[in-house]
Amino acid sequence: MTIQVFIVDDSAVVRKVLSDFLDSVPGIDVIGVAQDPIFAQKKMQKTWPDVIILDVEMPRMDGITFLKQIMAERPTPVVMCSTLTEAGSRVSLQALSLGAIDVVAKPKISLDCSMEEASVELVAAVRTAAKANMAAAKPKAFVPIPRTPQKLTADAMLPKNTSGAISSTPLIAIGASTGGTQALEAVLTALPANTLPILIVQHMPEKFTKAFADRLNSLCQLTVKEAEDGDAVISGRVLLAPGGKHMMLHVNRAGVSVQVKDGPQVSRHKPSVNVLFRSVAKYAGSKALGVILTGMGDDGARGMKEMHNVNAKTIAQDSETCVVYGMPKEAVKLGAVDYEVPLSQVPKFIVSHK
């Protein structure tokens, strides 16, 4: 089925380039464009789109205000176009909290009006948004990173073996993608300050993860921070993998910590859930609880299977509460999941883990 897209952007050049590019993609049809939300509302009443691509800063009505209106009156998958700056990251997180399915970088248009750098990310965002469960997306969602043709496994970062010191501290490892900001906020804000250590991979690009960690830290009883290499894994602390780098659990004589390293994309993502889960299987074994939340694709499924094989407890978010039931579904298909539960029950499993 063709995905019908409407573009709202105050730049005529951006509207033209995005429209021409998306129209050239099989299965995507741009049914209209507008320079601001006022014009967009009038045009979209004739044929309502499947996905809206929305600029942030526009005259007469900004994108955030229009997003609020869309979600209140006629919830529709929205992909925001934002600048990848510190300020842009904050606005993007606000958009995700209001119901946007995805945020992509504002395309840099070259002199020949090409946008190859952003094309893969944009198409992936539109296709993901078209599949979103809007009932589950009501407040928030996530920002994926661009995909590459080659799909590496966790072997690219960490050999598959179970030798090495095992952590004496139980811990929680969580992986999420599309819809993850909503799900993670719901889970973490429900947890007490003395919760076991939590390690999280949420698919996000650079600049977004620190803003997201800071936001969660302001809302939670737990201490939430963007992980740095060597950070100690301790109760009451949540470490979020930084965008553009992998995060791995590590245990040695000095104690339990995380390693934050650059490297190739694994399962087409960096950070990758598979990399985190493999390291947790290796260094935490049966003392770990693995959680896989809403997300597009299959990152985390194989890593969770490795955790399951060393007797770690594993749970997955169910299809009814996922914005996109992709990653949990793949983990279930592999036989990696002990329990499939609604999002509201995830905090209970975390608190009860010993």
Active site residues: 177, 203, 299
- Per-residue b or e along 196-223, where b marks 16 or more CB atoms closer than 10 Å to that residue's CB: bbbbbbbbbbebbbbbbbbbbbeebebe
Residue type, 232: A
Cis amide linkage into residue 144, ω under 30° from 0: no
| Cα-based distances in Å from 54 to 17, 35, 42, 64, 201 | 14, 10, 15, 9, 27
Distance CA 293, CA 342 (A): 10
The pair of three-digit structure tokens given for residue 12, joined into one six-digit string: 């005529």
Cα-flanking dihedrals φ and ψ of residue 195, to 5°?
-65, 150
Indicate left, alpha or beta for 290 from its phi (over 0: left) and psi (-120 to 50: alpha): beta
Q: Which residues contact 220 (CB under 8 A, 6 or more apart)?
A: 188, 189, 191, 238
Residues composing the chain? 354
Torsion of Cα atoms, 207 then 213 then 217 then 219, to 10°: 90
Query: C-alpha angle 210/212/214, rounded to 5°?
Result: 70
Please spell the DSSP secondary structure of 290-348, one letter per residue.
Answer: EEE-SBSS-TTHHHHHHHHHTT-EEEEE-TTT-SSBSHHHHHHHTT--SEEE-GGGHHH
